[in-house]
Amino acid sequence: MNNVYVEPVVFFVIGIITGSFLHLCAYRLPRRKSILFPSSHCPHCTTRIKAVDLVPLLSYIWLQGKCRFCGARISISHPLIELLTGLLFMIAYLRFGLSTMLIKALLLISLLMIIAMIDLKHYVIPNKLTALVLLLGLAFVLFTGEPTILSALTGFGAAFLFLLFLALVSRGGMGGGDIKLAAVIGLCLGWPDGITAVLLGCLLAGLVGLLLLLLRVKNRKDAIPLGPFLAAGALIMFYGGAGISSWYLENILLY
């Protein structure tokens, strides 16, 4: 097989393996359990899962979504998260090649995936994870100058103020965790991509919220977690870059 195909597949495979670990982190971190010990076990019958049944994506298929020992259903979120992480890692490689930006992309994807999963399930964004996104952003500002200090600070401030404004207007519809996450995304992506990412995330959340309201899945009082949408906005902007920013600022925001 030609090299052109081998490397993206390698990153896809690294992605599905990482996705399996991210799922485990998102399950164990809010329950204050170690992410290293014990090894994976069925949450229903607590039997330790055999190595052969820990193959990302494929295990779910040959186990037909059930625990080998007790037959309890395995959440469909396992293969979905593995597949999504695999695709995101592969796209990151295709977009950035072997570069420092690829390292940033893979770390950002991993942190945002855990944050999104925890927020979806528990309606909370742990400060420690937001702090790691902040550290990632600062490390790249200091060591690669991408984004520049000025750009990072502007992105941070703009995202923070925008979410603070939304929180005040929506009166409790948004938590402090959302504001902090938006601010560090603003820093990580810099100006103007960071603020575009946050605007895009809020726009997506609004559209999905409206859809769920129309389909009567949720009612007006239900909160929908903003974290997954901020994560999606951040990744779209990280891949799409300046092109989307200038289009968005020119055509939507300034009209």
Contacts to Zn ion by CB under 5 A? 42, 44-45, 67, 69-70, 72
The residues, any chain, with a CB within 8 Å of residue 165's CB and separated by 6 or more, are none
At 41, give phi and psi (nearest 5°). Answer: -140, 160
Residue with tokens 């009082």: 221
Residue type, 121: K
Q: Least separation, in Å, of the C-beta of 64 and Zn ion?
A: 14
Quote the longest CA-to-CA distance of the chain.
60
Q: Least separation, in Å, of the C-beta of 75 and Zn ion?
A: 12
In the bound state with Zn ion, the residue whose beta carbon lies nearer, of 17 and 67, is 67
Strand, helix or coil at 74? coil
In the bound state with Zn ion, the residue whose beta carbon lies nearer, of 47 and 99, is 47
Q: Least separation, in Å, of the C-beta of 131 and Zn ion?
A: 35
Q: Least separation, in Å, of the C-beta of 117 and Zn ion?
A: 21
Cis preceding linkage at 38, omega within 30? yes
In the bound state with Zn ion, the residue whose beta carbon lies nearer, of 46 and 100, is 46
Q: Least separation, in Å, of the C-beta of 225 and Zn ion?
A: 29
What number of other Cβ atoms are within 10 A of residue 119's Cβ? Answer: 26
Residue with tokens 């994976």: 40
In the bound state with Zn ion, the residue whose beta carbon lies nearer, of 42 and 134, is 42
In the bound state with Zn ion, the residue whose beta carbon lies nearer, of 76 and 142, is 76
CA torsion angle for 190, 195, 197, 201 (degrees, to 10)? 150
